[in-house]
Copies of this chain bind each other. A is one copy, B any other.
Amino acid sequence: MNTDDLLNRIELDWSRERPDLTSLPMLTIIPVQRVSALLDRELGAFFSRFDLTPASFDVLATLRRSAPVEGLQLSQLSNLMAITPPAVTKRVDNLEARGWVQRADHATDRRAFLVRLTERGRALVDEVLPHHVENEERLLAPLSQDERALLRTLLVKLAQSIEAS
């Protein structure tokens, strides 16, 4: 069932079954999760062409744009990608096994180490990136620039509030 029909049906169903409750908040939250899931699937299909996943590309792109040649700590990656440290460990393990990143000793703290792109890893990001941007552009095609800006503004407002709590 498509998203618009689903939302209309949910509204109708709940107004019949539980007229004492408002289904309004659901009707805002569900499309956020739905679009996110749809985007994940599309991006997953795209990255599989390069033997990558959205998660692994996230690491490569974060390292590429942040750009200190010495690399980033795992805890910094965790913070930037908004996932837990164990999840970063798994992503890095996977990328290291494929030769796209390396772990290097931290200069002053032996508990930590630095994750950095290999030459092959950097070349891969730089090759994939333009296609990735083009693909994202395709997905966003139905929205005008103004609509995209508006969407971003609303979502940031929501995110800030949840993050603050």
Contacts and interface: CB of A to CB of B under 8 A. Distances in A.
Interface residues of A, number: 66
Interface string A22-50: 11111111011111111110100000000
A69 interface: no
A152 B27 contact: yes
A26 to B, nearest CB: 6
Contact of A1 (B22, B36, B80): B80
A123 interface: no
A27 B62 CA distance: 14
Contacts of A42: 162
Copies of this protein in the complex: 2
A82 interface: yes
A154 B23 CA distance: 19
Given A22-B133, A39-B29, A163 B6 contact: no
In the A-B complex, the 5 residue pairs with the smallest Cβ-Cβ separation, listed nearest first, are A36-B36, A25-B136, A3-B159, A13-B65, A31-B155
Interface of A: 1-4, 6-7, 10, 13-14, 16-18, 21-29, 31-40, 42, 64-67, 79-80, 82, 126, 129-130, 133, 136-137, 139-143, 145, 147-148, 150-152, 154-163
